């Protein structure tokens, strides 16, 4: 008779919500379309905000790996990418132990790691498990990894050893970070395939590069499985209901939503200027703002930035701001039901840090953007949105700008008004709607996302075995 062993896949995600959310969405789709059982290993001890992201589906099994280091363990000058990589390297022994157990009991069909999990690929391949990469950001950033770091170049010295201890290289934080990124990008080539959370109409030039990579060396097959976005983000709490009830009272397209992701942080001066600009614009707004940080733009990355007991940053706003904007604005703490907000008809614009998850969520729901990148690949995403796709506006940088780099309130007010009611804003809205339709097409029955996922999934399904009764 024919037997069909149920395929079991292991996935690995770093702890940041920006990485874990799309991994979970990929698991949901593989589970729904192909019936895989999926174990998701997370490089985190399991904060409640991360545990709450997982579905109740028994076929998607979260495993929070035992803690291995604390934030004070990092090199003092380490930037965000270096900190994440150090964390990943220290989780590798626990991850390998889990994979050995799963492979022995379930014969894993494949292993899929997020981009920082590229450092796990060599060890996983030694276990005989087919190893893939899930690139949760855009194809443009991925293409740069292959274009600028081809294998024939002399390898840069790596500032980290395999145990995840930082070596004393004498490098400053930026130089050390660069070496970490080079080492990570070169490990992308070890993957048997790369799943990308994007679609061809979003990044045509990047996907053409992967079709004909030219002199960049061998490139694994690339599968455009996006856009992978959540169906919802709220949990029905009081903050959710109050915010959405407020939106229900607003006119269609009249509200600008302002949020900087789970990790993004503004300076004290910038938060004040943002509040001042929103007030000056005279437009209705939802502002998600946490405690500012004058040193780091990613201060909330490791804490998640989403705990509901986070203090409201009222003291950091201009005096009287909350009272004066009580009718026009709605201020939330570090967390918001973003999907429910973006799909609400009252929302006509999104001022965003250009994180890839937020970018895709906005495109899927047809909401035009104002780009305000903070760290990581967000600057590249902003360039794609503003210059290539023209679905976003951006603030002008003044030549006499102060050393603190803050965008002033007048410029914020000008761009908000332009997006919501100006001629340039109207063109951005039109192009955003066109891109929304392309995203829906990618997700359709004959779309690029379904076809790419089928191609990858077929490689992970065990061959049918013929036996007799």
The pLDDT, as a whole number, for residue 152 is 55
- Structure confidence at residue 305 (pLDDT): 47
Catalytic: 19? yes
Of 15, 223, 258, give the one whose Cα is nearest residue 134: 223
Cα–Cα separations (whole angstroms), residue 332 to 64, 88, 268, 308, 340: 29, 32, 17, 10, 14
pTM for this structure? 0.89
Q: What is the pLDDT of residue 467?
A: 40
- State residue 175's pLDDT score: 82
What pLDDT does 160 receive?
A: 58
Report the distance separating Cα 204 and Cα 207, nearest Å.
5
353 is a catalytic site residue = no
The reported pLDDT for the residue numbered 3 is 47
> What are the helix and strand counts (H, E) for the chain?
16, 15
With beta carbons less than 8 A apart as the criterion, state whether 351 and 358 touch: no
- What domains can you pick out in the chain, each with its CATH number? 2-228+444-466 (3.40.50.2000), 238-421 (3.40.50.2000)
**How far is residue 192's CA from residue 293's CA, in Å, rounded to a whole number?**
41
CA dist 250 to 246, 327, 346, 417, Å?
7, 11, 6, 17
CA distance 388 to 405: 25
What pLDDT tens digit does each residue of the chain (469 aa) get? 344 567 899 999 998 888 999 999 999 999 999 999 999 999 987 778 888 899 999 999 999 998 776 555 676 777 888 888 888 988 999 999 999 999 999 889 999 999 999 999 999 999 999 999 999 999 999 999 888 876 655 555 555 554 555 555 567 778 888 888 888 998 999 999 999 999 999 999 999 999 886 666 688 999 999 999 998 876 555 667 899 999 999 999 999 999 998 767 899 999 999 999 999 999 999 999 888 877 665 555 555 444 444 455 667 899 999 999 998 999 987 678 999 999 999 999 999 999 999 999 999 999 999 999 998 889 999 999 999 999 999 998 665 545 456 899 999 999 999 999 999 999 999 999 999 999 999 999 999 999 999 999 999 987 544 343 3
Q: Select which of 8, 44, 114, 353 is catalytic.
A: 114
What pLDDT score does 84 carry? 87
pLDDT of residue 395: 94
Marked catalytic residue, from 19, 298, 344, 353: 19
Q: What is the DSSP string of 334-383?
A: S---HHHHHTSTTEEEEEE---HHHHHHHHHTT--EEE---STTHHHHHH
Supply φ then ψ for residue 260, to 5 degrees.
-125, 30
Is residue 352 within 8 Å of residue 332, measured between CB atoms?
A: no
Q: What confidence score (pLDDT) does residue 446 get?
A: 92
pLDDT at 382: 96
């Amino acid at each position: 008779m024919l037997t069909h062993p149920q395929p079991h896949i292991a996935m690995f995600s770093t702890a940041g919500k920006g990485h874990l959310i799309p991994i979970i969405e990929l698991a949901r789709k593989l589970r729904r379309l192909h019936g895989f059982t999926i174990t998701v290993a997370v490089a985190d001890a399991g904060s409640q905000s991360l545990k709450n992201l997982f579905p109740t589906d028994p076929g998607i099994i979260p495993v929070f790996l035992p803690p291995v280091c604390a934030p004070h363990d990092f090199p003092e000058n380490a930037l965000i990418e270096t900190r994440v990589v150090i964390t990943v390297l220290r989780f590798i022994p626990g991850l390998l132990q889990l994979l050995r157990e799963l492979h022995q009991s379930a014969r894993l069909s494949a292993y899929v790691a997020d981009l920082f999990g590229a450092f796990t690929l060599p060890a996983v391949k030694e276990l005989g498990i087919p190893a893939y990469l899930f690139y949760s950001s855009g194809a443009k950033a991925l293409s740069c990894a292959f274009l600028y770091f081809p294998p024939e170049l002399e390898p840069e010295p790596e500032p980290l050893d395999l145990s995840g201890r930082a070596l004393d290289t004498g490098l400053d934080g930026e130089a050390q970070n660069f070496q970490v990124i080079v080492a990570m990008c070169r490990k992308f080539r070890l993957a048997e395939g790369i799943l990308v959370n994007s679609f061809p109409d979003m990044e045509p030039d990047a996907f053409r590069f992967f079709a004909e990579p030219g002199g960049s060396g061998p490139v694994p097959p690339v599968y455009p499985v996006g856009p992978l976005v959540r169906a919802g983000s709220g949990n029905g709490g009081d903050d959710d209901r109050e915010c959405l009830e407020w939106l229900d009272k607003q006119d269609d397209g009249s509200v600008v939503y302002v949020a900087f992701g789970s990790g993004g942080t503004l300076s004290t001066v910038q938060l004040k200027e943002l509040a001042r600009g929103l007030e000056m614009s005279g437009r209705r707004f939802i502002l998600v703002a946490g405690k500012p940080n004058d040193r780091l733009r990613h201060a909330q990355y490791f804490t998640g930035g989403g705990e509901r007991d986070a203090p409201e940053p009222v003291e950091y706003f201009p005096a009287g701001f909350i009272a004066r904007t009580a009718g026009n604005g709605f201020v939330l703490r570090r967390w918001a039901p973003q999907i429910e907000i973006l799909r609400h008809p009252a929302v006509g614009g999104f001022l965003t840090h250009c994180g890839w998850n937020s970018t895709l969520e906005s495109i899927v729901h047809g909401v035009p953007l104002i780009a305000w990148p903070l760290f990581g690949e967000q600057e590249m995403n902003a360039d794609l949105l503003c210059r290539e796709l023209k679905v976003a506006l951006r603030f002008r940088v003044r030549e006499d700008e102060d050393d603190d780099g803050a965008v002033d309130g007048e410029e914020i007010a000008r761009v908000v008004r332009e997006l919501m009611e100006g001629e340039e804003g109207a063109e951005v809205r039109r192009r955003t709607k066109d891109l929304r339709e392309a995203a829906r097409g990618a997700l359709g029955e004959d779309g690029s996302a379904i076809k790419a996922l089928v191609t990858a999934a077929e490689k992970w399904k065990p061959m049918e075995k013929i036996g007799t009764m």
